[in-house]
Amino acid sequence: MCGICGFYGFEDKQLLNRMTNCLKHRGDDDKGNFVSDKISLAHQRLSIIDLDRGKQPIHNENSSIHVICNGEIYNHKELRKELEGKGHKFYTDSDTEVIVHAYEEYGVDCLSKFNGMFAFAISDGGRLFIARDRLGIKPLYYYLKDKTFLFASEIKALLEFDIKRKVNIDSLFNYLTFRYTLEDSLIKGIRKLKPGHYAVIDQDGFKEYRFWDIKFSENYYLRPEEKFFNLFKDSVEKRLMSDVSLGAFVSGGIDSAAVVSQMGENVKTFTIGFENDPTNTLKDAKAVSEHFGTNHFELVEDNNILSILPRVIYHLDEPIVEPSILPGFKLAEFAKKHVTVALAGEGADEILYGYPHYKMLDFANNINKLTLGLVRIKPLPSIAKIIPENILNKMFHYPYPIGKEGKSRLSDFVSKLGNQNESYRELISLFSAKDNIINNHQNNNLDLVLDNFKYSNIQQNISHFEIKNWLPNHVLMRLDKITMAHGLEARVPFLDHRLVEYCASLPNELKLQGSNEKFILKKAMQGKLPEKIIKKRKSPFFTPITDWFDKDIRQIASSLVEKDIMTEFFNTQKIKKIIDNHNKSKLIYSRQLWALISFYVWHRLFIDNEKVKNLDNFL
């Protein structure tokens, strides 16, 4: 695990050094570079495999091809044997060296050979080749203008080049809808290489290609839970590959518990929780530890960690609307004191229909079918408005009251049930299109949802969209940035591409049976996990955001609402209304204000380029 950066079309050793220094937090064990008149590559290393000889860039036998990589190739030993059989000579035991020889042997088709998480760049004469893993576990940003091309693991490294710092308004609209940005970052001109894609940069310019995509079907297998378990077990075993200490994050839920169950003995586990947590995260995580006899480390936070938000946003590169980034950041910092690698349970919800909105859309879709031709859909929005809040909270396991605004949003969602992509966007949107929160701007990001909704089945459509968008741009981006801020590598066994492809081929009822989500995982873990964990109802990681709202967020938002940054981009009358009515829908309004405050902080850091010595006191 590391940070990578470089450029094509010019030579500038000082720029390359500045870019590399921006990535030092990702790994300060070593650094290296390759410089030619056309291509420059640089690598900031966190040593995981072949600690003594694995320094990058790594080259082929005659040093005509050089590679830098952020990530791991988990099947490198098998590939090494295959390549040695074809005559290739290795000079390290590093998994990265497999990339350069596989590229020599197979060209761009080498990508189909790799099982891993990676973002890498290869210099091949006057040709630059970059690639990102299938699911987008590792980030890779780039900037292209005329014939100048730069790339890096983080945006802050690209900004060492003379890039005009201007907000991409379309991306801001997407951020306030989906809670994250998509392929285009918040800074105009800086983009992400899409998951499962590679690009070639040479004298003919920049060309991007797809090498992998997820495809859904509904195949029926004999004892499917056995194949699921075997793929999962092998995935975990592959991700134990390490020459340094490793552990696992646990929350007490089935995803992280399943990972720990396959890690063997002498495992270190880490969890974080808050005082007065109604979801019992700390208690349940400790129960997992006791069941498997792990060496357990527990971090208990009070409610006063909001001050670290600017420091976290600095490391995120872009704001993400997820309050759990704060405890996640603290947990990674805490775990790094004991391990260098940590396994995590991310990805299970996306591939196994684990989120509440899968159940909600399925339930609503069935109601829509039943009422079609009878009462049609028109009376249902009114019904949604009169359902008592406590019933809605119980149905969808909201940790905070849904409130008046939440019920109104639910009503809008129901009214669009005849259109899958519109109903989905309405349900997951932070700000709906009718909010008009951005000054003088309209963006039909519904087209993006529509492009991903290509199946007749609504669950497959949601999963397809979230694997392609939510997963790499929110879940995995968050995990990478908050762990690598401390030089900690996170690995995600549920996102082995073989397991993802298998789950996509399963019928829906093996993933969601009524209100029972992740059904095949629960079936596969029978006898391997305590029944209490298997039967535990999914709940989001608890953060005391309503307490933060009452004590801090509302006050901060009030102090920022008339700032130039806010008046430039937003309808401040709408913001004032949210602040004034906050008690009516804390579930919705607290997150809306969180998003706006986060954007304000991000703008000062990345657009205004303020050099703040004490980020904790930035607000």
Q: Is 503 a catalytic residue?
A: no
| Rounded (10°) angle between helices 476-484 and 325-335 | 40
SS3 content of the chain, % helix, strand, coil (to 5): 45, 15, 35
- Cβ–Cβ under 8 Å, residues 504 and 357: no
Per DSSP, helices labelled H in 239-278 are: 254-261
CA distance 51 to 29: 9
CB neighbourhood size of 294 (10 A): 22
The Cα 120–Cα 109 span in angstroms is 15
Between CA 70 and CA 44 the distance in angstroms is: 9
Q: Do 50 and 92 touch, CB atoms closer than 8 A?
A: yes
The DSSP string of 39-66 is EEEEEEE---SSTTT--SSEE-TTS-EE
Amino acid at 401: P
Pairwise CA distance, residues 217 & 508, whole Å = 9
Q: List the structure tokens of 514.
A: 């009524």
β-bridge pairing 141-145 and 127-132: unpaired
Helices (H) and strands (E) in the chain, counts: 27, 19
Place of tokens 């909704």: 453
- 390-397 long-range Cβ contacts below 8 angstroms, 24+ apart: 395/360, 396/356, 396/359, 396/360, 397/356, 397/537, 397/538, 397/539
Q: How far apart are CA 59 and CA 65, in angstroms?
A: 5
Q: What are residue 49's phi and psi, to 5 degrees?
A: -120, 135
Supply φ then ψ for residue 70, to 5 degrees.
Answer: -110, 110
Beta bridge partners of residue 71, listed in sequence order: 118
Instruction: Kindly provide the residue ranges of all beta strands, DSSP E only, lying in 161-210, ordered along the sequence.
Output: 190-192, 197-202, 205-210
β 516-517/512-513 pair status: antiparallel
Residue 61 tokens read as 């036998």
Residue 502 buriedness (CB in 10 A; 0-12 / 13-18 / 19+): buried
Nearest Cα neighbor of 316 from 484, 553, 543 is: 484
Q: Which of 2, 5, 22, 503 is catalytic?
A: 2
As a whole number of angstroms, the distance between CA 392 and CA 407 comes to 9
Whole-angstrom distance, CA of residue 292 vs CA of residue 290: 6
**Backbone phi, psi, residue 462, to 5°:** -65, -45
Q: How many other C-beta atoms lie within 10 A of the C-beta of residue 209?
A: 12
Secondary structure letter of residue 431 according to DSSP: S
**Distances 499 to 333, 471, 573 between C-alpha atoms, Å:** 30, 15, 48
Three-state DSSP state, 409:
helix
φ, ψ (nearest 5 deg) of residue 392:
-65, -45
Tokens of 79: 């590939």
List the catalytic residues.
2
